[in-house]
Amino acid sequence: MDKTPPTDPRQSATFTREVNSEIRRAAATGIYDIRGGGAKRRVPHFDDLLFLGASISRYPLEGYREKCDTSVTLGTRFAKKPIELKIPITIAGMSFGSLSAQAKEALGRGATMAGTSTTTGDGGMTEEERGHSEKLVYQYLPSRYGMNPRDLRRADAIEIVVGQGAKPGGGGMLLGQKITDRVAGMRDLPVGIDQRSACRHPDWTGPDDMEIKILELREITGWQVPIYVKVGGARPYYDTALAVKAGADVVVLDGMQGGTAATQDVFIEHVGQPTLACIRPAVQALQDLGLHREVQLVVSGGIRTGADVAKALALGADAVSIGTAALIALGDNDPKWEAEYNALGTTHGAYDDWHEGRDPAGITTQDPELAKRLDPEAAGRRLRNYLNVMTLECQTIARACGKSHVHNLEPEDLCALTMEAAAMAKVPLAGTDWWPGKPQI
């Protein structure tokens, strides 16, 4: 009998079970994996930053007595009617088509109750979201699905989408199973076919052209509403500078944790920069142009809590935008649908086949039976509550740092837990006065 002690089976750190399962899936199907959501890999994030709080050298504001303002105005550069928001958290663009009409309505309801804006998406503006959104940002996308001057003029702002964090440089694909009669009608395409959203705009090729496009949109809308330019987190310094040069009122900067309705997993996980790495270069660009705060910066991609909001603002953003978190607040990936997630081969929290249209929560679907599961009023209230909590959390931190407005938060209020975060955020590594790349005096 062999008495040799057995060694424990050792799994490879390179060929993990997850990696191996993807290799087997690819070998079986011959096609890359498509999914929704943003990057799932661990990247340096706001969790790697901490606030210092007030001490002897700074004094805090009383948590329940002293005012800490959260209002933000977007579009002060050129627009006659800038957007006034009560909170520095907006709802990001998500399309009708990728989302059900009920979900779009719920986003509008929740945002309106919380005093903020929501945003259309690829596929045009629906009556549900216009009707329930006091402030609605109309996305101007490469596909131009549903684009028309009437909707353009009844928007409260226009967001020219150059890219998004989940897939900078990439377009999109809405698969045929989500193309109902209504979705197809809005997009001028046949029912049931895959609908490609182009990766670049059809009628311009660079920043000089974009400047003229912005002029055209302003002329069509009478210079009334702000024009945002949204970019994915790729080259934030130059993209921000070029957007400003082109005439943007607001720059929306979306890091790689920002979600998408459907894109290749390899794209989501391997293209673009973490949100944390994008903010300081963008702020630097605005400062170099002398336009920080005059052109507002909205940051998105992985914003989950009031702490994330406060950290983004402290690094120089004027507001943040949420997408994935808003869907979770509506009811996405709720454990109560666990049996149905299991039937789809997944589990709550991990469900990301949003493109297939079989969402048990009734959010990323066009199936009328599934969509009925989402009560827009109740879901809107949940979103309102969540936005309120985030705002209160952000205020709590701001007061602890002695700030009477959340915009008064600053990098000096922060330290970093890791070298990577310190380098990206340009704040000191905790316990030191140093970060990688800090200029030597």
Partner 1 sequence: MQSLDMAAMELREVNATLQAQAETTNQTQWVIENPRGAHAVAVGLDAPIEVTVKGSTGYYCAGMNAQARVHVTGSVGPGVAENMMSGEVVIDGDASQYAGATGRGGLLNIKGNASSRCGISMKGIDIVVHGNIGHMSAFMAQKGNLVVLGDAGDALGDSLYEARLFVRGTVKSLGADCIEKEMRPEHLELLADLLARAGADAKPEEFKRYGSARNLYHFNIDHADQY
Give the residues lining the site for partner 1 (CB under 8 A).
29-31, 143-144, 147-149, 152, 173, 175-176, 187-190, 193-194, 196, 198, 202-204, 209, 212-213, 215-216, 219-223
In the complex, what is the shortest distance from the CB of residue 123 to partner 1, in angstroms, rounded to a whole number? Answer: 13
- 3-state secondary structure string, the chain? CCCCCCCCCCCCCCCCHHHHHHHHHHHHHCCCCEECCCCCCCCCCHHHEEECCCCCCCCCCCCCCCCCECCEEECCCCCCCCEEECCCEEECECCECCECHHHHHHHHHHHHHHCCCEECCCCCCCHHHHHHCCCEEEEECCCCCCCCHHHHHCCCEEEEECCCCCCCCCCEEECHHHCCHHHHHHHCCCCCCCEEECCCCCCCCCHHHHHHHHHHHHHHCCCCCCEEEEEECCCHHHHHHHHHHHCCCEEEEECCCCCCCCEEHHHHHHCCCCHHHHHHHHHHHHHHCCCECCEEEEEECCCCCHHHHHHHHHCCCCEEEECHHHHHHHCCCCHHHHHHHHHCCCCCCCCCCHHHCCCCCCCCCCCHHHHCCCCHHHHHHHHHHHHHHHHHHHHHHHHHCCCCEHHHCCHHHEEECCHHHHHHHCCCECCCCCCCCCCCC
- Give 127 or 203: the residue with its C-beta nearer to partner 1: 203
In the complex, what is the shortest distance from the CB of residue 418 to partner 1, in angstroms, rounded to a whole number? Answer: 40
In the complex, what is the shortest distance from the CB of residue 116 to partner 1, in angstroms, rounded to a whole number? Answer: 28
Beta-sheet pairing, 72-74 with 157-161: unpaired
Give dist(CA 157, CA 247) in Å, integer: 14
- Give 221 or 365: the residue with its C-beta nearer to partner 1: 221
- Give 190 or 349: the residue with its C-beta nearer to partner 1: 190
In the complex, what is the shortest distance from the CB of residue 104 to partner 1, in angstroms, rounded to a whole number? Answer: 22
In the complex, what is the shortest distance from the CB of residue 147 to partner 1, in angstroms, rounded to a whole number? Answer: 6
For residues 355 and 35, is the Cβ–Cβ distance under 8 A? yes
In the complex, what is the shortest distance from the CB of residue 403 to partner 1, in angstroms, rounded to a whole number? Answer: 40
- Give 51 or 78: the residue with its C-beta nearer to partner 1: 78
- Give 222 or 349: the residue with its C-beta nearer to partner 1: 222
In the complex, what is the shortest distance from the CB of residue 341 to partner 1, in angstroms, rounded to a whole number? Answer: 25
Both tokens of 403, joined, read 């700030």
In the complex, what is the shortest distance from the CB of residue 293 to partner 1, in angstroms, rounded to a whole number? Answer: 26
In the complex, what is the shortest distance from the CB of residue 339 to partner 1, in angstroms, rounded to a whole number? Answer: 30
In the complex, what is the shortest distance from the CB of residue 185 to partner 1, in angstroms, rounded to a whole number? Answer: 11
Both tokens of 158, joined, read 């226009």
- Give 37 or 124: the residue with its C-beta nearer to partner 1: 124
Give dist(CA 268, CA 41) in Å, integer: 10
- Give 30 or 345: the residue with its C-beta nearer to partner 1: 30
- Give 31 or 339: the residue with its C-beta nearer to partner 1: 31
Alpha-carbon dihedral angle through residues 28, 98, 319, 112, given to the nearest 10 degrees: -150
In the complex, what is the shortest distance from the CB of residue 286 to partner 1, in angstroms, rounded to a whole number? Answer: 26
- Give 189 or 430: the residue with its C-beta nearer to partner 1: 189
In the complex, what is the shortest distance from the CB of residue 135 to partner 1, in angstroms, rounded to a whole number? Answer: 22
Tokens 């890091």 locate to 255
- Give 216 or 294: the residue with its C-beta nearer to partner 1: 216
CB within 8 A of 57, min separation 6: which ones? none
- Give 173 or 417: the residue with its C-beta nearer to partner 1: 173
- Give 221 or 257: the residue with its C-beta nearer to partner 1: 221
CB within 8 A of 124, min separation 6: which ones? 96, 145, 146, 147, 148, 151, 186, 187
